[in-house]
Chain A
Amino acid sequence: MQRRILGIMLGTFFAALIAMPVVLKHFSERHASIGTAPQRAAVTARYGFCFQEVAKAAGIDFTHRAPTLDAKLAHIMPEVTALGAAVSIVDVDRDGWQDIYVTNSGEGSHNHLYRNLGDGTFQDVAAAMGVADVNQASTGVSMGAVWGDYDNDGYEDLLLYKWGRPELFRNEQGRRFVRVTTHAGLPSWINANTAIWLDYDRDGLLDLFIGGYYAEHVNLWQLTTTRMMPESFEYAQNGGRKYLLRNRGDGSFEDVTEQLGITSRRWALAATAADLRGSGYPDLFIANDYGVSELYFNEGGARFREVGKQTGVGFAPKSGMNAAVGDILNQGQFAIYVTNISEAGILLQGNNLWVPKAGTAGESLTYENLARAMGVELGGWSFGAQFGDLNNDGYLDLYLTNGYISADRERSYWYDFSKVAGGNTTIISDAQNWPPMAGRSLSGYQQKRVWINDGAGQFFDVAQVVGVTDTYDGRAVALADFWNRGVLDVVAVNQKGPLLLYKNTVTPDNKWIAFELEGSVSNRSAIGTQVRLFWNGHEQVQEVSGGSGFGAQNQRRLHFGLGKQPHIEKVMIRWPSGQEQTLTAPQIGHIHRVKEPV
């Protein structure tokens, strides 16, 4: 009898265990995301903001084109050409309005520079200014662009990175561009998918970091071998080399990569630089595909030391595709967001939100991944993501785009992909062994994420409610205040898809302040300058960035949301030169233009 009761109890326990995943899923879905769209006014009232897609109305009609590589890759062409839609923000003519540069990747296609006319519309001036016709099989096609005033003349110059020959264009007073690649001494060919401007040695001159993806000896239009794919899905070290190019100050650059300790050949997809330790020097974070992320501590501008494992960010190999930093907890420290792949039931890498561990700083700085705990872990096949206070409530939110290849909705390539990706290196590294895609999708048609930060350690996805409903294959995202209204708008570009311009409407109850900085001793773009804002008991730090996210660069202007009835105690500015400046009680709801004191 007792044995029978035990049997019944055990059977009940077993049934409960089997039911548990279903129950947990039910509750987690209720908790993680917020329903479907009510009316805009109600949404704005509830969440503090709402988006409206206005690209065409604003005069932007751009659709990205992918390249056509060597015919030996024809069977997997959608996969090997799934990158290249990139966007960067610049005020190209210093008129106070943010402009948009977007890259194209089809051979013979044009890049576009959309100049903001200040009346809510944009005009493409790329061809007129000489930065449109840059995509050819002979010299490569665009993968992204970043802006920085490398010659300190007050106008932002353009570094275009490609699968091919990188190009540097000098901005001539905002009127036209002059190609200065040859004099700059840039490498002749890099299959690059990331580049950033940074002043790593704080000499007042912007330097360049460029990260290779495919090895630099591979010409994707004229393959000598099909053994050019990654040697491992998560431990590959046969990618492109990295380039740290020091600005000599005479318009040319010097390759100091190995000399400064960067020898990685991982497959870099994103990089960003920020002073993570308060050393005054920018540290370098690289998100790698097919492997672990790398974090390089900058040792006084004399050397970079890789500390991925030491700090915890370089332990578990994933498919890193994004690197962005933000002070998400208003604690005066940066968290780092890295995107990866998550496909239900197949591959759940989960995105990483690396938050500094309490009590660690400086040399002892270590991170823990709080993506799951904070609700920003699962974002599909994630690509570009950026931090920004989208509703001006005083906390940084997170916009993420995703989706890899949207083709036939009914047929997926995942099975064949996983089959080969798990195989031995001799199999995976040879493109000939990859089964044909044959029009199938691979994590396509995915819903984007707009995670709002509740300020108490949780993010909630409100994308569908606030008007972000597209399902294109998103790549790059950049944030900027295109209408100078004190809000962050979003521009998202999609692989083989349109550019989307999401105009933001924010409740006027939430206040804001912004800073547009110009270096004098420091580099004139002020890249690397930190602004620390103290208000209502909060402290938030932001840094001017020379590139972040995936294939993207936000506006250089730093935008702070302040919430309701803010009282700003002070603003501390630390310039790359080391000079510190304090502003007391600056006017709220105003863009402050601050020049570094000489």
Chain B
Amino acid sequence: MPWKDGYTISDERGLADAVLHWPGDAACCFGITVELGPACGPGGITARDLDTPENYYGLHGGLDALRETLAGHGMRATFAVPGVIAELYPEIVRALHAEGHEIAADGWRREDISLHERAEERDLIRRTVAALHAATGEAPAGWYCLPRAGDKYAVGAISPDTVPLLLAEGFTYLGNSPADDVPHYWVADPAGPVAILAMPYYYAFDDQFHLLFPARGTGLEHADALERNWRAEFSAQYRRGRAFTMNLHPHAIAWPNRLRKLDDFLTHATALPGLWNATAGECARYWLETYPAAETLRIEPSIWQYHEDSLN
């Protein structure tokens, strides 16, 4: 189906509210993704990025405060960890893992993977897996390619090779895709189909685009809008019986007044019955079992014609 190239990555219609069910008849799947490590440019984390007060805060006082808040609500998160962070702070990554949080990959140094050739990309994936494995004793199930605050687009970047490489390297899921608000299949080759499960991501629920955005100094503070986005989306998704996923950065969200907003929100959310707080891996495994691609991925044949005068 050559026309799908460059247009769609999944089937034409997402799963409706009515067909969605969560374990134990839960009303809503609640996911928290935490990116570990400092802000960086498209080339990824450098020594200079590490040598910042924000980085110190994000791996020490800020991280501790966030962990305490999550623990206070009995919630577990998925920590998206770049390979270099696992190399540099193995004891922190190990401790997070031991606390029950999931450790997933977030690039080798959170670089823009689309800037690399296939062989380089495969090498970066393997190095990252090795670093995370060394810290936790487990290979990561998920691979994130989340946006950096300075990126042109707040969606993350992927190369044409990423999904085939992730499948070849045994990954269960791709951590972020904006094409749906529940897990969905990212189709690399519709003929197979060859597809990986993608987890929902949306910038409106990501703290880094609201807190001193785009950068400290001149960045603007929209902690109020962030909290209202979380609350509005969560309450709408809860009513629909779907999923809510938020993205946090300890160096940003842990600052006390912001952390209080998170704390209040989590108090509100956990007070409702039927909340399923799942790590991305748990949600992905449930989804693959309950909504396997063979049964739910419905790629329709194209009726598109080739036109000389069109994009095609």
Bound together? no
- Chain B residues proximal to chain A, CB less than 8 Å: none
